[in-house]
Every structure is written in C-alpha cells, then in structure tokens.
Amino acid sequence: MTVFLEDIMRICYINPTFLIRRPVSELIDRLGDKDEIGLFVPKKLFKKVDDKWHNDSALRKAKIYPYSALSLPGNFEWPIPITPMFFINLFRVFLRYDVLHMWAYFYINSVFAVLAKLFFPGKRLIMSCDTFPGYSFSSGKLIDSLFFLYSKIFGWFVFSVPDKVHLYGKSMINYARKAGVKKKKIIVIPTGINLDKFKQAKDIRESLGISEDEFVIIYAGLMVPRKGIDVMLKAVRKMDVKLVLAGDGPKKKEYVDMAQRLKLDNVIFLGWRKDIPSLLKSADMLLLPSRGEGLPGIVMEAMASGLAVAASDVGCISDLIKDGENGFLCPVDDVDCFVRKIKKMAGDKEMCAELGKKGYEKIKEFSWEKLISEYKGMYV
C-alpha cells in the first residue's frame, strides 16, 4: 500500500498522446492544492506541449515532463519518442512520484512505463483502458490482427505489472478479459464531468451564421474513421438541418472533400475549438455514430449541456444513454437508423428538449464531486 506523508499525494499522469486527455486534465484540476502533481507527455518536435481543448488547467497546475516524439501516418496517433529526454524524464517521474497513472496499453510510452515499474516495485502503477482495439471495436482486419497478436504475445506482461487496470464501465470488462486482463486486476470507475463548466456557456449561433429557427446538430472531437464522420455526412443528406463539426485530425480533408462530393451546403467544419460549452449551448442535439468508444467525454459534455444525444450503441455509451428515455442509440454504421432519430428530434423540438433534460438528470450521477474520492481510493 502506498503511504502519503501528511496526506499529500504525489501523482504523475502519463498521457500517451500529444493531445492531453480530458480525464487527465480534469483529475489534475480536482486533486488538492497541496498535492504534488506531474504530467509526462509527448510533444511534437520543435513544438510546445499541445495546449488545445482540455489541458489548460493541467499545464497550469502540474509540473510538465515533456519529450519530443514523431507520429506514424495513419488513422491513429502513435507518438514515438525520438530523444533521450523520454528516458530521462521517465526515470525522473518514477523516482519522484508515489503513484503513476497511465492511459492505454498499446503505446510505446505505455510499454516503457510498465517496464520502468519493474525497477521501481514500490511505486503504484495504474493503467486506465478506455478501449481495447480489435476487441471492443474494429479498425479493419489488418489492424485488428496486429492488436490480437500484440495482446497474445505481450498482454500477460503489460496487464500483469500494473497494480490495477482501470476501466470506465462494466461494459468493458468482457473485452478486458478477452485481451488478457486478470479479473483481480480490474477496477471500474467512470470518468467524471464538471457540471459547472457548462452552466455559464453562451449561445453563439449568430457568430456561426446560424439562425435561431434552424435545427443544429453538433459533433466535437477527432476527425478519424472511428468517430463515424462519414455516417454523419450521409445521414444529413437532403435534410433540413445544420451539421456543425468541431475538431481536426488526419482524415479531416477527406471528410471536407466528401461533403463537397455529396453537395452538402448544410455542413460547417470549424476546426479545433476551445469554446466547446458554447458550441454545445448553440446546438439542439449531439450526433456520435462512433465505431468504438470507452465512455465518451463529448456525450457527457452534451448531457451536461442539456442536449439530446443520438449515438452508436458501443463501449460504455449505454451506461449514459438509455434508448428512447434520455436519448437514442443505433447500431454501428446504421445510417438509416440515425436518419430516423434525427428526423424524429428535428420534427419534435419539445420531445428533443425533454430528452436533453432527462440526460442532464442522468449525468449528475457522474459529477467529479461524487467520483473523485473513488479515484483517490484507487491511488492508495
């Protein structure tokens, strides 16, 4: 058991990607002011640590341990360390902090964090897994086969060394077991949401050139195949709605070109935005036809904004959305289902607003105020 002197926690978060994950940033923000917090994170060569989206508070409150990395081309972000600073700072954080909390098991930095634990057996290592590629969702036969092979060869090691393997919901347990996680290692705690962050958001429709009487559908996140952007574009064809897409990613240009081929004049690509609460406040519903998720932050944020949600029934989304009660769920890649749900909500705004209200009541169960003690308990 890890012992903290004078109840002061010394925790370092190991973020696997250039973009700091929402749970990482919000956990850092909610730990005590007396706690000592570190953040081990990759950055692009000759660039500063990515300051987009969720990570402002993390960069202010935590001591940053950066290292330069390059990412392989493709649909996934795979930061590969390219300087000795990776190993220097990895050694520093294991030497300095009592608890190391890492995300995902298949990144290079994650594998080395597991290896480092062998040299620091007294440190507590937590591995959070929001998805299990190849198990909880498909990325194509080749990628799935590589993940299966990786799990079969290395799973016994990467999953056995951490003190706990943390999942966001019970829906992930079966996939974790298939990937090689032992039952005794598993702990389930959902991510939280900062409800106050969305209470003061302002409607910015006018600045986006959207009129008050238009039905607005929002998506915010990465522009990658897993998120189902192509399904969104197909679903809104010949529909009297406005689709607003906030975010960037390796496939953004392909989706812009797709929208042009489909002659969609009702789609707006905004690029990266930090004013997500205001964008959500300006919309009528969230659309997430994803092919694979854990417990998606954007669904939680939409619910905290009182928005109705239509999403794929994947990962832990069903922990948030009950079909027909506080939103709608559709099978993966079922364009016709999403078309029906969009038409239903656009044709009955009162019903749409009522779904949003019920979603808000549900998301109260996931407030950080209720969950932070569970995370602290996981650290000791």
Same domain, 249 and 130: no
CATH number (domain holding residue 14): 3.40.50.2000
Q: Is residue 374 part of a domain?
A: no
The pLDDT assigned to 152 comes to: 85
380 within some domain: no
- Give how far Cα 41 sits from Cα of 58, 65, 134, 208, 374, Å: 11, 6, 25, 34, 24
Same domain, 91 and 212: no
Is residue 283 domain-shared with residue 219, that is, in the same domain? yes
- Both 157 and 247 in one domain: the answer is no
179 and 205 inside one domain:
no
Pairing of strands 124-129, 164-167: parallel
The answer to whether residue 372 sits within a structural domain is no
Query: Tokens at residue 141, please?
Result: 């036969």
Q: What was the pLDDT predicted at 53?
A: 53
Are 207 and 300 part of one and the same domain?
Answer: yes
Q: Is residue 55 part of a domain?
A: yes
Please tell me whether residues 171 and 207 are part of one structural domain.
no
* Same domain, residue pair 10 and 129: yes
Domain assignment of residue 42, yes or no: yes
Q: What is the pLDDT of residue 52?
A: 61
Q: Which of the listed residues 188, 205, 229 is the one where a domain comes to its end?
A: 188
pLDDT, residue 10, reads 95
Q: What confidence score (pLDDT) does residue 310 get?
A: 98
| 114 and 207 housed in the same domain | no
Q: Could you say which of 170, 188, 206 is where a domain stops?
A: 188
Number of domains into which the chain is organized: 2
Please check whether residue 371 lies inside any domain of the structure: no
Do 226 and 353 fall into the same domain? yes
Residue 206: inside a domain: yes
| Residue 285 belongs to domain spanning | 196-366
Q: Is the same domain home to 217 and 179?
A: no
Cα–Cα dist 109/107, whole Å? 5
Verify that 166 and 303 share a domain, yes or no.
no
Please report the pLDDT score of residue 156 as a whole number.
85
Rounded to an integer, what distance in angstroms lies between the CA atom of residue 224 and that of residue 323?
25
User: Does residue 376 sit within a domain?
Assistant: no
- pLDDT per residue of the chain (380 residues) written in tens, 0 to 9: 444 445 688 999 999 999 888 899 999 988 877 899 999 999 998 788 776 655 566 678 899 999 999 987 766 678 999 999 999 999 999 999 999 999 999 998 999 999 999 999 999 999 999 999 888 888 788 888 888 888 888 888 999 999 999 999 999 999 999 999 999 999 999 999 999 989 889 999 999 999 999 999 999 999 999 999 999 999 999 899 999 999 998 899 999 999 999 999 999 999 989 899 999 999 999 999 999 999 999 999 999 999 999 999 999 999 999 999 999 999 999 999 999 999 999 999 999 999 999 999 999 999 999 999 999 999 98
pTM score, whole prediction: 0.89
